[in-house]
Chain A
Amino acid sequence: MEPRPRSFYVLSAFFALFLLFLYGPTITIAILSFQGPGGGLTFPMRGTSLHWFRDLFEQQAVGDIWGSFRRSFALGLMVMVTTVILSVMGGLAFRKKFRGSSILFYLIITSLVIPSILISLGVGLIFSQSGLEVHWSTSGFGSQLTWTLPFGLLIMFAVFNRFDKSYEEAARDLGATSWQTLRHVVLPIIGPSLIGVALFGFTLSYDEFARTLLTSGSYNTLPLEIFGMTTNVTTPVLYALGTLTTVFSLLMIGLFLCLALWSTRRKARAGSDAGKGMM
């Protein structure tokens, strides 16, 4: 191996600073959430305690945190499952040109670049003008899909761009029906990427704010609840909540990444059945 050029060390330092910039603030509020009971929103720490976390679990003067967490979690799962299924279907469809495919493609791009508040406003107006009631599981759910579906589909495009069609042809030559080909050949191969789509679907929904602002109705999701708190809560209880949901997000991300790793390994193991025979 050739020796590292000097630029490597400069860039490494830059990269380290970038990571510090990315994670520093989050780590700071994680530390500050352990403030003593008399502590404020900034350093110095006045002792350490679990006071603010206890506050979250006990009094509910600041709103319905746990209810909103449950709603966000349920909504995240709903959006995740829908995003995965619809993205796979869309990805499969887009492998061939079909009527309206370029229109749909531009719609997906529009969905990605449209300012979120427009979705919120438009969906809110449609529901209110047609006499429907906005609710996180209907209007909120649909609004979030306009944010997660483009990501899911773009991932599927990337996956199918690299997909070797000869596997499917081989399956077809062996007499598999199109469903069997999909179930036993295509899905196992794209499996790990689907976990990526699921990760996007869940986390983007779980953290979405603008698109649910006017579409979630009288029951808040967690980001809405937290934003409400920023205007009237001036104690580290805000940090405690922030830290808890960040830890929850990190756990979910870790879970998805482990699943992806596990399924990639499994795929590598099961990839070749040369010499094993059919039965």
Chain B
Amino acid sequence: MALPIMAVLMFFLVLPILMIVAVSFWQATEFSIIPAFDLENYEFLFGSNVTYRVFFNTFKYAFITWVFTLGIGFTVAYFLAFHVRSLTWQIVLFLLCTIPFWTSNIIRMISWIPFLGRNGIANSTLLSWGVIDEPLDWLLFSDFAVILAFVHLYTLFMVVPIFNTMMRIDKSLIEAARDAGASGAQILWNVIIPLTKPGIMIGTIFVVTLVMGDFITVRFMSGSQSANVGRLISNDIALLAYPSASATAVVLLLTVLLVIGIMLRFVDIRKEL
């Protein structure tokens, strides 16, 4: 029964990864790529300062986005799970949070233009309030815009798993804590957060991998001014430098898998579904 899935994943996941690993040792000329066993691509990659800067940038985006999506996602899930009292309302509000996930990311990025542009809503509002004297240039096409877009796109990946684990918390545990004299903050810190950890881990895995593997959000929202590893790869692809793109891709994949491997030590995904 599992054979068809196995076949699809073999051909479109395992084989491509193997292909990328192989090509990362190949040589490239201007017009073609030549099979070889050559460490040149890796030497160039690790010998270049750009690589380290770009990897640092990637981690920076991942970390900042993680902090914001976790803060917002946890609060929203907490509200839905513990403050909304009827199941119908919980479902309706939860769906409202998830619907954007099923619409196009690119359009959701484009839709920030009228807000953040030089003559956009944010600037004109701040101008009319007298907060600033001239339009801010760093709203659109900047790291700020990149992070904003990431948070906008990926917070639901935090909300869903955290809400899911919160809904399974036995409400009598909270009552017991209250009966034992715990304050609201103590209940949150000593009961709810520890029990929600698996959901937080799953959300973290989603957000971190999505941000680390992204290239299009960074390209679009930074106006091609910032780079992360994904953009390094896509730039190489655009130049038809497939071996060099592959070497970067291998390093990126190893990095992501390493990060995930560490996180998976803290959570058993199959048990949490």
Please state if A203 and B103 are interface contacts (CB–CB under 8 Å). yes
Find out whether the CB atom of B72 lies under 8 angstroms from the CB atom of A18.
Answer: yes
- Docked complex: A55-114 residues within 8 A CB-CB of B: 85-87, 89-90, 92-94, 98, 100-101, 104-105, 107-114
A residues apposed to B, CB below 8 Å: 1, 4-5, 7-8, 11-12, 14-15, 18-19, 21-26, 28-29, 32, 41-43, 85-87, 89-90, 92-94, 98, 100-101, 104-105, 107-119, 121-123, 125-126, 129, 142-143, 145-146, 149, 153-154, 157-158, 161, 199-200, 203-204, 206-207, 209-210, 213-214, 223, 226-227, 230, 238-239, 242, 245-246, 249-250, 252-253, 257
Inter-subunit contact B233/A145 (CB<8 Å): no
Task: Identify the interface centre among B17, B104, B115, B246: most chain A CB within 10 Å of its CB.
Answer: B104
Are B4 and A86 touching (Cβ within 8 A)? yes
Q: Mark B80-122, 1 if CB is under 8 A from A, else 0.
A: 1001010000000101110110111111101111110101110
**Shortest CB distance A262–B (Å):** 15
User: Does A28 lie within 8 Å of B114, measured CB to CB?
Assistant: yes
Q: Say yes or no: A113-B106 contact (C-beta < 8 A), given A12-B79, A28-B121, A125-B19.
A: no
Tell me the dominant secondary structure on chain B's binding face.
helix
In whole angstroms, what is the CA distance A90 to B103 when docked? 27
Instruction: Spot the interface stretch: B40-48, B49-57, B193-201, B250-258.
Output: B250-258
Chain B residues near A25: list those with CB within 8 A.
108, 111-112, 114-115, 152
> Which A residues lie within 8 Å of B105 (CB)?
207, 209
Distance in angstroms between the alpha carbons of A15 and B73 in the assembled complex: 10
Q: Which residues of B contact A101 (CB under 8 A)?
A: 2
Pick from A14, A32, A203: contact of B76, CB under 8 Å: A14
Say which residue of A15, A93, A115 sits within 8 Å of B213 (CB atoms).
A115
Contact with A along B228-246 (1 / 0, CB 8 A): 0010011001000010011
Known: A14-B79, A110-B13. A19 touches B96 (CB 8 A): yes
Minimal beta-carbon separation of B203 from chain A (angstroms): 13
Task: Please measure, in the bound complex, the distance between the C-alpha atom of A153 and the C-alpha atom of B209, giving whole angstroms.
Answer: 19
Give the CA-CA distance A142 to B15 in the complex, in Å.
12
A sample of 22 inter-chain contacts (CB < 8 A) reads A5-B184, A11-B75, A18-B76, A22-B152, A23-B100, A29-B114, A43-B120, A87-B5, A93-B2, A110-B257, A113-B209, A115-B253, A118-B213, A125-B242, A126-B19, A200-B102, A209-B105, A210-B215, A226-B104, A230-B110, A249-B102, A250-B99
A115:B212 contact, CB within 8 angstroms? yes
Give the docked Cα–Cα distance between A111 and B14 (Å). Answer: 9
A143 and B270 within 8 A (CB): no
Identify which of A109, A111, A126, A246 contacts B104 (C-beta below 8 A).
A246
Which residue of B has the minimal Cβ distance to A25?
A: B111
B9 on the A face (CB < 8 A): yes
For B255-269 the 0/1 string (1 means CB < 8 A from A) is 011001000100001
Cβ contact of B110, chosen from A4, A94, A121, A238, cutoff 8 A:
A238
Q: A-B pairs with the 6 shortest C-beta distances?
A: A122-B16, A115-B213, A93-B1, A25-B111, A93-B2, A203-B102
Chain A residues near B2: list those with CB within 8 A.
89-90, 93-94, 98, 100-101, 104
Main secondary structure of the interface of A (DSSP, over half): helix
The chain B residue sitting closest to A207, CB to CB, is B104
With CB as the reference atom, state the residue of chain B lying closest to A17.
B72
Residues of B within 8 A of A122 (CB): 15-17, 19-20, 249
For A41, list chain B residues within 8 Å (CB): 113-114, 117
Q: Which residue of A lies closest to B8 (CB)?
A: A145
Which of A114, A142, A158 gathers most chain B CB within 10 Å? A114
B100, B102, B242: the one within 8 Å of A121 (CB): B242
Residues of B within 8 A of A142 (CB): 8, 11-12
Q: B212 near A118 (CB under 8 angstroms)?
A: no
Shortest C-beta distance, B196 to chain A (Å), equals 16
- Asked if A121 and B107 make an inter-chain contact with CB atoms under 8 angstroms apart, the answer reads no
Query: Among the interface residues B16, B20, B80, which one has the most CB atoms of the partner chain A within 10 A?
Result: B16
Q: Assess whether B114 is in contact with A223, with CB atoms less than 8 Å apart.
A: no
CB distance from B2 to the nearest CB of A (A): 4
B205 within 8 A of A: yes
Contacts of B269 in A (CB 8 A): 109
Cα(A98)–Cα(B115), bound, Å: 53
Establish whether residues B4 and A118, one from each chain, have CB atoms under 8 Å apart when the complex forms: no
Q: Are A121 and B93 in contact (CB under 8 A)?
A: no
Q: How far is the CA of A5 from the CA of B187 in the complex (A)?
A: 14
In angstroms, how far is the closest chain A Cβ from the Cβ of B109?
Answer: 8
Contacts of A22 in B (CB 8 A): 96-97, 100, 152, 155
Chain B min CB distance to A105 (Å): 7
Q: Are A105's CB and B13's CB within 8 A? A: no
Q: Which residues of B contact A143 (CB under 8 A)?
A: 12
- Most chain B CB inside 10 Å of its own CB: which residue of A18, A94, A125: A125
B132 at the A interface (CB under 8 A): no
